[in-house]
Structure 1
């Protein structure tokens, strides 16, 4: 297992530059609180309590999108989580930012402006290129150490993620530490009993790649979401193609993955559990079709069937380890929450190692009154979680390992 230095290895009274991932939903111009703030609050609060001078970097949205806004609101939200004022400066590495950094006292925290408002942050380039940017070259001399806590962005080669580890001693924050350990558990841990993975969500290409890579390490794959529709299509059932011209959920992913899906069904059919049926809306109510009744030309399927929930339940409960990637249905609508909530509740009630992650899936825990403490780990990572599961390198992590060596 790769190893890196953590904030436990910091010297006393340091001026530290900390990369977080506070990227959040934005509604009517208002940044929304989410799990990322509470998670990163542990790292920030600990550093401040230890008397370090703490300067934070984070991004929000992408240029040209409605979510591309200032981080001024983020300072207030994060400050509430650590019960401490977080100063904000509308600058990244100009004179205003440098003056604010210089003025920090021990235990004080400062948040810089959205890193993506700097031309040096994007696009993705080699770490050596990013380390040579004005962004990195100007800020790095102001600090004793760099801390990367943004595991969920660790698959990106942006200046704030890969440039500073080449210019400063580099350490992992608490989120980076716990996410990395949990999300690499399939590759790095041995489990005594059955290992189960539930795969869902709308990005079927991602989970199909996970299934292909982890076939030797997973005993059973329980399918939901878009991937389940595509596998049912490959098995000969009438589902898994687009019926709306303005919505491309199935056809492109089918074209890109048909060969892999058919090969997985052929080679690993005993490992793959397909839904017994799917649910759809009928006059505002939940209705269900068995596999044989599926009729994608006339119905939008929104969840796995109740029979499927009952089929997956004992598989989950008899497992030594369970990994969930992606929602099994459109859980945001209560009538189509049976698949996701049924699976998540079964995981919570089972004495097993568990990781729940992927997109908004973890929101179902809070949304339906479950306790995060009942799970081994609830991941806030999306793309990085997929990269970890498929064994791809995470540049942000690799540079921390290199720094430790």
Structure 2
């Protein structure tokens, strides 16, 4: 089954389009948006609908209000930023359901945009409640999902709402996400290299197991590498290790080797005597990590090894940093690999908030093939899972 996209809908003029977006953007203490990539990402879909003279009702969540109205999680900053980006007014509704919202939507003219208040102010959103979903519709005739980053959640505005709107489609951001994922996983130009980092194996062991059947090389860095290294008999000091997953990690490692997948782990690291930006630190081979020290970044020899491993890559998928890159002393490994990936001649697909942040801080975002807006959704696709928000588009998109 294929997904129908917004440009395949014949008549949008004058129609009320309920568009699920992901404006869950970072805010500072003064409620100012510090990074607006997710808002900019849906501009092509919004502009397309505007050009077709649709009436656009936007829905999103922000933060984790846990089913209660909390003003610090209001969509007001997102509505204001979108207004500036579009050069036209985006009206913020006082709520996401109810008579006041219905009156605003009924009064819309072609080309108007109304942003609903945070859908997670109601517990029914995360419970995928049909009654709440039906209340969200507000008379809309077309549903468009352009929120890839939440499509791994069976939430009311992503899933149940499709039971109550007759025409269902996806936006252009979703189209990009799916197209690039297909290029990486379904029909890749090889060699295909997967780079995985981050703190823990537990969040990515299923990804690794699935990748063993698909990729040519796996590079593992970050804190998760030390669960593997401990399983291989290395003394890793006080480095992060998930003891209960050592056996699972080693089975995955052996599966990769049995499949002929090249599996790369760090050969040196930057260690510190404590988890602190001001800690004493030094570079040591993996075999020489001091008993009371912890590894917080990969070292220069690992950077050289990993960089060499991706030199002949034609497709690279990367999720997770190589160290605690938020601290300058432990950022060099991640940023060096950012440069190496940018310098490769491969199609590069970056997924996950931390990796996205590292690529942007490393000044190489413009040289990457594609940067995904979804962290959890991206990982679940890599695990081979069906995402509820995408599955329902496939099931109902052509009806």
Q: TM-score, normalised by structure 2?
A: 0.90
In structure 1, how many angstroms separate the alpha carbons of the residues matched to 2:86 and 2:363? 24
Contact 1:60–1:68 under 8 Å retained in 2: no
CA RMSD of aligned residues (A): 2.2
In structure 2, how many angstroms separate the alpha carbons of the residues matched to 1:94 and 1:67? 18
The 5-angstrom pairing of residues 1-400 of structure 1 reads 2-10=1-9, 11-13=11-13, 14-28=15-29, 30-32=31-33, 33-63=35-65, 69-123=73-127, 125=128, 130=129, 132-133=130-131, 135-140=132-137, 142-168=139-165, 169-191=167-189, 193-239=190-236, 250-251=241-242, 254-255=243-244, 257-269=245-257, 271-281=262-272, 286-295=281-290, 297-372=291-366, 374-400=367-393
2:126 alignment partner, SS class? coil
2:169 alignment partner, SS class? strand
| 1:271–1:337 CA distance, 2 compared to 1 (3 A) | same
Kindly state the Cα deviation for residue 138 of structure 1 after the two structures are TM-superposed.
3.0
2:225 alignment partner, SS class? helix
Can you give the 5+ residue segments of structure 2 that lack an aligned partner in the other structure?
none
| 1:265–1:190 CA distance, 2 compared to 1 (3 A) | closer
2:354 alignment partner, SS class? coil
2:235 alignment partner, SS class? coil
Across the two proteins, how many residue pairs are aligned to each other?
Answer: 385
Kindly state the Cα deviation for residue 281 of structure 1 after the two structures are TM-superposed.
4.0
Contact 1:184–1:388 under 8 Å retained in 2: no
1:16 alignment partner, SS class? strand
2:374 alignment partner, SS class? coil
In structure 1, how many angstroms separate the alpha carbons of the residues matched to 2:44 and 2:247? 45
Contact 2:268–2:285 under 8 Å retained in 1: yes
**Deviations for 1:76-126, whole angstroms, at most 9, x for unmatched residues?**
122223232211012111111111111212112110000011232122x4x
Q: TM-score, normalised by structure 1?
A: 0.89
1:51 alignment partner, SS class? coil
Can you give the 5+ residue segments of structure 1 that lack an aligned partner in the other structure?
243-248
Contact 2:105–2:114 under 8 Å retained in 1: yes
